[in-house]
Amino acid sequence: MPDSKHIKYILSEDEMPRVWYNIVADLPRPPDPVLHPGTMQPVGPADLAALFPMAIIQQEVSTEPYIEIPEPVRQVYLQWRPSPLFRARRLEQALDTPARIYYKYEGVSPAGSHKPNTAVAQVYYNKQEGVRKISTETGAGQWGSALAMAGAFFGVDIEVFMVKVSYHQKPYRRNLIEAFGATVHASPTNLTDAGRSILAKDPESPGSLGIAISEAVEVAAKSGGSVKYALGSVLNHVLLHQTVIGEEALLQFAQADDYPDVVIGCTGGGSNFAGLAFPFIGEARRKGLKTRFLATEPMACPSLTRGIYAYDFGDTVGMTPLVKMHTLGHDFVPAGIHAGGLRYHGMAPLISLLHDEGIIEAQAYHQNSVFEAAIQFTRTEGIIPAPESSHAIRAAINEALEAKAAGQERVILFNLSGHGHFDMGAYDSYFAGKLQDYAYPAEAVAEAQKRMPQVVL
């Protein structure tokens, strides 16, 4: 019998998981190899050593089912972890649904999102191997602020290439990055060949995550070893670090004497969705459960629902290794009118593989319906969600309404990946009626496919 009175499920510090879960151990087929951008042959650890510390490279290719969370990382996690699992009782009442809706809240971290779960781990491993400086990219600034915070804790310098439109339109997140002591540039910059090549073609370029990644990777690659690079999503080790979310949620559902029928997360590069869903996918595969897994994304950047499953670069200029993933093309530049975040052209290879195998479903939403769901959530649960997370809320509400129509007791779990306190500009546009719905055209994806690298394995 599910618990009938609690609003939140809290674990003690001692109950915080001691391991991350590695889904590679439970995949239906092995992951596709990562390819060198020059030779198009599978990369080895030595190829990646210019960018990442060895401990991270080992995690990237590990097939061990569980990897221990180092004690110094646990010590930092404990400031906001274990994070609460809430039962959304007022939202359920407002929807008049027989469904039970739960959400795991990652906005309790100091940076306001799930991103510190991997930022802290990545900076720790770099520090262990003597790295003094890390370069990275950021879009709206969530990742930049998380890495900057971790850099401040461990005494590692952080240099952030921030997508130019966000740099100018979202000064407060940029200021937060600065408050943590990191350096931040509006990308494309004149500091790198990658940035200069983009500016030569388009001096007014608004930037994109793909361009900012090119710049950050170049800084590390040309540093002769003194600077490493960190990525905030997409890669296996990043998804691994986020699984502390789902490991906690499994324990919290045991407390609630309940279990989800559907697990939902928004997907930009895939890390918060994976963090919550992968431990449940592992359970489902081991125990033969029929749990559903739903990844949600914007119509304006629909990599899982409209993208092509192919080898592509992780960045725009073509400096990163090639990975097999759902992609809109590495030269994708998001539409300026899109306010809902989740703007990366690709999707994590592990999520792409699980989607290809039919284990993960995907849905795309128009931004006005996403903000409408966000407001319904705010008025019932009190938390103003990040626009990104609101894609998961849209799906959770849809599932609850479907359950009502079918007269079903569906149990819904979603990841509330962050709060929206720094995103009020997007809410301002929504309240003013200025948000336009926009679907990325299928023809643009077909065109982009022609520019993707031709890989023959």
Ligand X SMILES: *Cc1c(COP(=O)(O)O)cnc(C)c1O
> Could you list the residues that contact ligand X (CB under 6 A)?
113, 115, 142-143, 233, 266-272, 342, 386, 388-389, 417-418
Asked if 113 and 265 touch (Cβ cutoff 8 Å), the reply is no
Cβ neighbours of residue 119 under 8 Å, at least 6 residues apart? 111, 143, 146, 147, 149, 150, 230, 232
Asked if 312 and 395 touch (Cβ cutoff 8 Å), the reply is no
Q: Which of 361, 328, 364 is nearest to 346 (CA)?
A: 328
The smaller minimum CB distance to ligand X, of residues 143 and 414, is found at: 143
Report, in Å, the least distance between residue 217 CB and ligand X. Answer: 18
* Polymer length of the chain: 457
Report, in Å, the least distance between residue 295 CB and ligand X. Answer: 9
Alpha carbon of 148 to those of 120, 234, 253, 456: distances in Å?
Answer: 10, 19, 33, 40
The smaller minimum CB distance to ligand X, of residues 206 and 420, is found at: 420
Residue number closest to ligand X, CB atom: 418
The smaller minimum CB distance to ligand X, of residues 135 and 166, is found at: 166
Report, in Å, the least distance between residue 385 CB and ligand X. Answer: 8
Report, in Å, the least distance between residue 232 CB and ligand X. Answer: 7
Euclidean distance between CA atoms 146 and 122, whole angstroms: 11
Report, in Å, the least distance between residue 206 CB and ligand X. Answer: 19
Euclidean distance between CA atoms 392 and 415, whole angstroms: 7
Asked if 266 and 389 touch (Cβ cutoff 8 Å), the reply is yes
- Return the amino acid letter for 4: S
Report, in Å, the least distance between residue 203 CB and ligand X. Answer: 28
The smaller minimum CB distance to ligand X, of residues 207 and 403, is found at: 207
The smaller minimum CB distance to ligand X, of residues 149 and 403, is found at: 149
Asked if 288 and 26 touch (Cβ cutoff 8 Å), the reply is no
Q: Which of 174, 210, 206, 212 is nearest to 192 (CA)?
A: 212
The conformation of residue 43, written as its DSSP 8-state character, comes to P
The smaller minimum CB distance to ligand X, of residues 76 and 304, is found at: 304
Report, in Å, the least distance between residue 344 CB and ligand X. Answer: 8
The smaller minimum CB distance to ligand X, of residues 236 and 272, is found at: 272
Q: Given the structure tokens 């626009």, which residue do they identify?
A: 387
